[in-house]
Amino acid sequence: MSTIREVAALAGVSLSTVSIVINGQAQARKITPVTCEKVWDAVRKLDYKPNIAARKLRLSADSDSITIALFWANDFRTTMLSRFLQGMQRQIIGDNSVELVVMTYLSGQLSRQRSLLDGRRFHAAIIANASEEDIRFLEQTDLNFPVVLYNRESSRYPCVTVDERKMGQMAAEELLTRGHKNICALTSAGNFTYMRERDEGLFSAYQAAGYPIYADRIIQTDSSLSGGAAACRKALDAMIPCTAIYCASDAIALGALRTLYDRGIRVPEQLSVISIGNGESSYAAYAMPALSNIYLPMETMAEKCLELAKDAVASHTLKPVRICLATPFQLRESLGKAPQREG
């Protein structure tokens, strides 16, 4: 990629002259039109893209707008992106000092994002849903702007997370408190560590209570409505003896509720359902029956990510702080006491 030095050399002017021209201050600084044309001609020939972070840091104090990029893995659902953006909007609505750009990337291929490597288009980046491979890339790469991680942990970058294992443990505690010793778990493939930790939290809590969840009671499926419906059908057809179903996501749970309705199984009188609440809260609240879940506070997490990014830009420092938010249990109609029967 071309540099400002190369532009100056091709135009035959100084670095400061190039900076003055591309920052729109040529007239005020009495740079001649001929010199300006030389600079812009060199910019075009070299396809030079000015570093906006450097440009804006040199602007006057009354022009302090910053641009923050949100990198969102394109294999994560748009409902989750919607929740994240809602949270960020709380921070920036009516605030002209922050511009937000959303950039998608393929999971595991963050290293191929040219805009992330050259750092010319934004002052800071929030990386969401990074795979383990993406995290390794970030840990090994020196970027020239602040980075904040959403729901991932790092010794190098600030991050906003939740206790994933505790979420699974909380689900287990709520189930066991209501007498659900035999349950069926509908989970999605553990492509990421945090997803596995939720399930492991549930499994370890049941193991410690003396009611291990054996492999034949664990059904993997896609984290989708259709996946949840199909997995629930599979569990019912296999006649797995259980009094409750744990679902690794709201989408799985909502699909499962549909199957239970189709089969004429009353919830929670005959079978309870609980989930990890990573979907739209209103979908869970207005399901029939309303869905109980361990809630992932995505909107608040987004707000915190934006706060960290803005602070890093303002202070010109990057401290690897970790903010861990609570995940409240939301009791609704789908979770009740275990029926008086042995599974």
Please write the tens of the pLDDT for every residue from 86-105.
Answer: 888 887 877 777 888 888 88
Average pLDDT over the chain, rounded to an integer: 86
Which position has the token pair 């191929």? 112
**Res. 64 pLDDT band, cuts 50 70 90:** low
**Res. 3 pLDDT band, cuts 50 70 90:** confident
Please tell me the distance from the alpha carbon of residue 277 to that of residue 293, in angstroms, as a whole number: 5
The residue that leads in pLDDT, 63 or 33, is 33
Please tell me the distance from the alpha carbon of residue 294 to that of residue 171, in angstroms, as a whole number: 7
Q: What value, to the nearest 5°, has the Cα angle with vertex 267 and ends 265 and 273?
A: 115
Mean pLDDT, range 249-275, rounded to an integer: 96
The answer, yes or no, to whether residue 73 has pLDDT greater than 90, is no
- Quick one: pLDDT at residue 58? 47
State the CB neighbour count (10 A cutoff) for residue 216. 10
Q: Give the model confidence (pLDDT) of 117-167 as tens digits.
A: 766 678 899 999 888 899 999 988 877 788 999 999 888 899 999 999 999
CATH code of 66-162+299-325, in short, is 3.40.50.2300
Q: Which of 64-78, 163-177, 242-256, 265-279 has the lowest mean pLDDT?
A: 64-78
Mean pLDDT, range 63-79, rounded to an integer: 77
Q: Tell the burial category of 74 from Cβ atoms under 10 Å away from its Cβ (0-12, 13-18, 19+).
A: exposed
CATH code of 164-296, in short, is 3.40.50.2300
Q: Give the model confidence (pLDDT) of 281-290 as tens digits.
A: 889 999 999 9
The answer, yes or no, to whether residue 191 has pLDDT greater than 50, is yes
The answer, yes or no, to whether residue 114 has pLDDT greater than 60, is yes
Domains of the chain by residue range = 4-50, 66-162+299-325, 164-296
- Quick one: pLDDT at residue 60? 36
The answer, yes or no, to whether residue 343 has pLDDT greater than 80, is no
**Nearest C-alpha neighbor of 330 from the set 301, 270, 289, 290:** 290
Q: Tell the burial category of 173 from Cβ atoms under 10 Å away from its Cβ (0-12, 13-18, 19+).
A: middle
If you average pLDDT over each of 146-160, 193-207, 245-259, which comes out highest? 245-259
CATH topology agreement for domains 4-50 and 66-162+299-325: no
- Quick one: pLDDT at residue 150? 93
Mean pLDDT, range 217-222, rounded to an integer: 93
Integer angstrom CA distances of residue 46 from 3, 10, 63, 116: 9, 9, 28, 20
**Nearest C-alpha neighbor of 246 from the set 203, 211, 208, 287:** 203
CATH code of 4-50, in short, is 1.10.260
Q: Is the pTM of this model over 0.85?
A: no
**Res. 2 pLDDT band, cuts 50 70 90:** confident
3-state secondary structure of 187: strand
% of the chain surpassing 70 pLDDT: 89
The answer, yes or no, to whether residue 63 has pLDDT greater than 60, is no
Please tell me the distance from the alpha carbon of residue 183 to that of residue 232, in angstroms, as a whole number: 12
Q: Are 98 and 92 in contact (CB under 8 A)?
A: yes
